[in-house]
A and B are shown apart, each in its own frame.
Chain A
Amino acid sequence: MAEKAILFDTSQCSGCKGCQAACKCWNDLPSPTALNADAPSFTGTYQNPPDLSGVTRLVMTFSEEQGGPKGIKWAFGRRSCQHCGDAPCATICPAGAIFVDEATGLVTTDAARCIGCRFCASACPFDVPRYAGDRGVINKCTGCVDRVANGLAPACVTTCQPGALSFGDRDEMVARAEERAAVLRERGYADAVAYGADEVGGLHVIQVLKYGAAAHGQRPDPAVNPAVQLTQVMKPVTGAVTGLTVAGLAAMFALGAGYKRDRRAYNPATGDTLDVDTREVIKHGDGQDTESVKEHILENLPRRKGGDHE
């Protein structure tokens, strides 16, 4: 199967939020229904819930700005997992609970393997994964890989009435997005862009952003936190250096086999440090050592147990 992608054309979106509802239905995710349950108070926006959460994988965003050919830019945005080509969440996940579906390139999850560490949330350049505290697992769009494997489109795409969402081979979605963005620019929407072809290794959610990336709530230049790769480097480095340390210590132990040391005693009256068995004076007084490093290393003959003069 070729790499797949969702195409979201903001110029065709009616803001009905059917995709949001479909996502909830297909994934059996509840919606808080109490008054102001999602936001602390009424915010005056049509956007609801205000952001992604442990039970919300897709939020349509609504942004109004002055400008554009018609005097106002009402920009709908799609806030959900972008299914990065170089998915840092999958890279950093220690449990293998977030992984790239090889057949489609979509970044999916296996809640049964999730350990709730939230490393993925710290790695995501789009701030997408959310912790579902009641279940102790992370929550994010799976790309509906179960549906895709059975020949269906993701639930959000299937339900989209105005045809703003489509699903298909990624190359085709990218080509269509670029073509549509060019058409929009010709019609006077100078900031219209196709988004997602190259970002973070190539996203699997391609978007036509009528008023430009920022207006639709997208990051113009998303970047993965370098700490994500560094933590991955630390694993083999720690393993290798620890292994070397153990090997070195084992060698020291092997070379130290048969080591014996004569007993020592100190006579404060004379200031002599003595070898109890041979009665030799090992050192007189408490002065600093006067041998060179080389002499220390080469003094392997018992008769050279020298003492310091003071």
Chain B
Amino acid sequence: MSNEAYVPTAAEARADEEFLRAQEASGTERFIKRHSLQARVTHGVTIACCLWLVVSGLFVFIPALAQAAGPGVVFAMRMSHRVIGVAFIAVPLVSALLAPKGVRHIFRNLFAKWDSDDKKWMILFFPYLFMAKWIHMPDQHELKSGQRFADGMLWFSGALMAVTGVILLVGSTVASFPAVYAWTLFLHDIGFFLICVFGLAHIFLGAGIFQPYRGSARLMFGDGMVSESDALYHWGHWAREELESGENVVEKEARR
């Protein structure tokens, strides 16, 4: 069954027109608060750590790079990898302890039941990535189904890197368990593989490099707010819920 254009009643059409005129006359635009300052700071620190861990890790992961850089540089990279690795683990943990409700909220969203729009969105996602100009996507809740999957993979690979990283650190400093160490190294490599793939996709979409996602960077690197228009496009169900409750809605001067 196809979505056919909805024809509003005369009264509805009048109300919609008045609503749009009032919005234009006010010179303001509605924004929805999406991410708290703490979430943005945690995300920012984690990203900085993650990027440095990727760069410093490459000096051990790629033999040609290690050999070209020489042992002095590689040693410095390895040591920084350990120090930054501690920050990569500690900062989200401290943040989680400071905001347990936020953590529950994140995981509730990650494991929320998929409705028919979620499933359809996921099926359409790959065609959409290449045909964004022509495909309109089904409305989504606070986390798109694809986001739930991709964010879940990032959470999983981040946790895998953290746990295996600690084991590698312990196994190369205060303890010796060669066989476990070798398997842990392999799992660390698996985590790196996942971070490469899902991290790149996350940057491409989240930083708004992909044209339909322009402005997304503001959510985590700006004031944490999303415009009404963008919210309706990306998370339609959530946006309408928020706009109706008005709890997290602020009006700001319209961008022209």
Contact = CB atoms under 8 A, between A and B. Distances in A.
Given A117-B60, A252-B210, A273-B240, A281 B5 contact: yes
Contacts of A284: 6, 8
Nearest to B3: A306
A122 B66 contact: no
B134 A231 contact: no
Contacts of A307: 3-6
A227 interface: yes
A299 B4 contact: no
Given A266-B232, A306-B3, A253 B130 contact: no
A291 B196 contact: no
A122 B3 contact: no
A306 B5 contact: yes
Q: Contact residue range for chain B?
A: 35 or more
A286 to B, nearest CB: 5
Contacts of B15: 267, 269-270
B112 interface: no
B120 A296 contact: yes
Contacts of B12: 270, 272
Nearest to A234: B189
Interface stretch (A78-86, A166-174, A243-251): A243-251
A204 interface: no
Given A122-B182, A251-B130, A290-B2, A238 B200 contact: no
A234 B6 contact: no
Interface string B180-221: 011101100110110011001100100001111000000000
B100 interface: no
B132 A94 contact: no
B239 interface: yes
Contacts of A1: none
Interface in A250-264: 251-253, 255-259, 261, 263-264
B13 to A, nearest CB: 8
Interface string A274-305: 10100111011010111111011101100001
Interface stretch (A68-76, A107-115, A140-148, A191-199): A107-115
Which 7 A-B pairs give the minimum distances between C-beta atoms? A300-B134, A306-B3, A307-B6, A259-B211, A256-B211, A289-B138, A122-B181
